[in-house]
A and B are shown apart, each in its own frame.
Chain A
Amino acid sequence: DGGITQSPKYLFRKEGQNVTLSCEQNLNHDAMYWYRQDPGQGLRLIYYSQIVNDFQKGDIAEGYSVSREKKESFPLTVTSAQKNPTAFYLCASSIEPDSGGGEAFFGQGTRLTVV
């Protein structure tokens, strides 16, 4: 079945460490996104990528980095510069509406906790 796979589901990180969250999709979607979710704040966009080898900052990119070397993969690195990284992270992908899409498809999320 096609879909978006995020791993791991739970992740613990010590302060000062970088950590990478995986996101893989087999939907053949061009666009991919990373969102951060905190209670009462909805979803906030961290980074997005419309094509391979290209990505743009979202609203809260500071302390995060991404890469898009393959169409299927869009990993997110939470760096030590991110002051408050404990959150629920969601990856999504989408295609253009003219191709029958427009909506974002989401993975099951990764809950990151800094210990």
Chain B
Amino acid sequence: AQSVTQPDIHITVSEGASLELRCNYSYGATPYLFWYVQSPGQGLQLLLKYFSGDTLVQGIKGFEAEFKRSQSSFNLRKPSVHWSDAAEYFCAVGAGGSNFGNEKLTFGTGTRLTIIP
């Protein structure tokens, strides 16, 4: 069964500092990988996704993520955070290719990001 681990429950960074949120996944075949962001009391918004090709993917709001198959990781990065980036971030893995629809998206438990001035 697929699984996602986000080892950091809560991260605090200073405004303007760089950010890296960790995500490790377990999946037997080619995964589809996603990062979502959630503001309090709101739904989830897609930041970026990886299906295939270039392992460094660019997303919205200046975020990027790198897929490393050898490490089963898909870490999210941003070179300089803004106060508006404070939110909860979720990594998710889904089945790729012909298995799409037969297996659900599996989410990590999330990382809460706090930005300090």
Assuming the A-B contacts A33-B104, A97-B96, A109-B43, are A40 and B109 also in contact, with contact meaning beta carbons closer than 8 angstroms in the complex? Answer: yes
Q: Is the CB of A42 within 8 A of B104?
A: no
Specify the main secondary structure of chain A where it touches its partner.
strand
Kindly list chain B residues whose C-beta atoms are within 8 Å of the C-beta of A107. Answer: 43
With contact pairs A58-B104, A96-B100 given, residues A42 and B44 touching in the complex (Cβ less than 8 Å): no
Stretch at the interface among A13-21, A43-51, A62-70: A43-51
* A42 contacts B100, C-beta separation under 8 Å: no
Chain A neighbourhood of B96, CB < 8 A: 97
Which of the residues B32, B107, B110 comes within 8 Å of A102, measured between beta carbons? B32
* B34 close to A (CB within 8 Å): yes
Chain A residues with CB under 8 A of B100:
96-97, 102
| A-B pairs with beta carbons under 8 Å apart, 22 shown | A6-B43, A33-B104, A40-B9, A40-B109, A41-B109, A42-B108, A42-B110, A45-B105, A48-B104, A90-B43, A97-B32, A97-B100, A103-B46, A103-B49, A104-B34, A104-B44, A104-B46, A104-B92, A106-B43, A106-B44, A108-B43, A109-B43
Residue on B nearest A9 in the bound complex, by CB: B41
In the bound complex, what is the Cα–Cα distance between A32 and B72 (angstroms)? Answer: 28
Assess whether A42 is in contact with B41, with CB atoms less than 8 Å apart. Answer: no
| Known contacts A40-B9, A42-B109; A108 and B51 CB within 8 A of each other | no
Give chain B's interface residue range (CB within 8 Å of chain A). 20 to 34
- Taking the closest CB of chain A, its distance from the CB of B59, in whole angstroms, is 11
Q: Which residues of B contact A42 (CB under 8 A)?
A: 90, 107-110
Interface residues of chain A, those whose CB is within 8 Å of chain B, are 4, 6, 30-31, 33, 35, 40-43, 45, 48, 50, 58, 88, 90, 92, 94, 96-97, 102-109, 111
Residues in chain B within 8 A of chain A (CB atoms): 9, 32, 34, 36, 41-46, 49, 51, 90, 92, 94, 96, 100-101, 104-105, 107-110
